[in-house]
Copies of this chain bind each other. A is one copy, B any other.
């Protein structure tokens, strides 16, 4: 039983990574990256669509888990935001796959986690607004999209080595906070 789970997890991780870099990645490539035969891959995920959907669901679940682990409800909004950004920068590669799809991601049932995490982030943004850290004139949607965009940019810059290891979170936090701060 454990064996199955480990194999499955390895395939999903490899798929998230490979598909994140190149959505047209071959099943053979994914199988090789997972250290698994193509036959085995097909045993776990009968066809490509199954694999993609499972990978999306798994990644969404992993991201949501990370978001909620950052305790977005607790403490001052700015501190919670920093925790959130730090968590997102860490899961950067996982997000790549979900986030980097121009055509969007197929709708999958990934349980209540992602919806809950999304609601928590939105609530956090509203809380930050009430605390005067976010411009009330900006919609929550916009602020959230900027949050992901800046985080993504930071993650990528970090991955390319353009920014020192420890400096990424600081830079992202500063840039994000400045961008959405009230004008006055």
Residues of A within 8 A of B (CB): 20-24, 96, 100, 102-103, 138-139, 141-142, 145-146, 149-150, 152-153, 156-157, 162-163, 171, 174-176, 178-181, 183
- Whether B179 and A21, one on each chain, are in contact in the complex, defined by CB atoms closer than 8 angstroms, is no
The oligomer's copy count stands at 2
Select which of B100, B102, B162, B178 is within 8 A of A139 by beta carbon.
B162
- Whether B153 and A146, one on each chain, are in contact in the complex, defined by CB atoms closer than 8 angstroms, is yes
- Whether B157 and A153, one on each chain, are in contact in the complex, defined by CB atoms closer than 8 angstroms, is no
Distance in angstroms from A86 CB to nearest chain B CB is 18
A–B complex contacts, Cβ < 8 Å, 29 sampled: A22-B102, A22-B103, A23-B23, A23-B24, A23-B102, A100-B102, A138-B175, A139-B162, A141-B157, A142-B157, A142-B162, A142-B163, A142-B171, A142-B175, A145-B153, A145-B156, A145-B157, A146-B150, A146-B153, A149-B149, A149-B150, A149-B152, A150-B179, A174-B183, A176-B179, A178-B178, A178-B179, A178-B180, A179-B179
Nearest to A96 among chain B residues (CB) is: B102
